[in-house]
Amino acid sequence: QKEVEQDPGPLSVPEGAIVSLNCTYSNSAFQYFMWYRQYSRKGPELLMYTYSSGNKEDGRFTAQVDKSSKYISLFIRDSQPSDSATYLCAMRGGGSNYKLTFGKGTLLTVNP
């Protein structure tokens, strides 16, 4: 079983839609959870960084963590064509171990 599972999609939505992206994980040692956005031919760019279970909001983006279910989500409200990218979940253990374990990424297309 992979440590992090993420549906690769692709996911196609109309402009203005609410997008829900999800990852599940199996390693209970994961303490920190991140969402990265990656445009084609670019490196991953950090979008959201969370630690505790619950919700964290930043503009149109909301990250949700449920440690009891080992499930994390990223919601994008009022999606825009510029949100079209691959979204990667990543997670790591605690302490000074900054090694990230990534999901495969979900390719999102927002159609105007």
Partner 1 sequence: EAGVTQFPSHSVIEKGQTVTLRCDPISGHDNLYWYRRVMGKEIKFLLHFVKESKQDESGMPNNRFLAERTGGTYSTLKVQPAELEDSGVYFCASSQGTSLFFGPGTRLTVL
Quote the least distance from Cβ 102 to partner 1, whole Å: 4
Instruction: In whole angstroms, give the CA distance from residue 40 to residue 15.
Output: 20
| Binding of residue 29 to partner 1 (CB under 8 A) | no
**Under a CB-based contact definition with an 8 Å cutoff, are residues 63 and 48 in contact?**
yes
Quote the least distance from Cβ 6 to partner 1, whole Å: 8
Which stretch in 19-27, 53-61, 70-78, 101-109 sits in contact with partner 1 by CB under 8 A? Answer: 101-109
| Binding of residue 63 to partner 1 (CB under 8 A) | no
Per-residue interface string for the shown chain with partner 1, residues 30-49, x marking contact by CB under 8 A: --x---x----xxxxxx--x
22 phi, psi to nearest 5 deg: -140, 155
Q: Which of 53, 27, 49, 17 is nearest to 36 (CA)?
A: 49
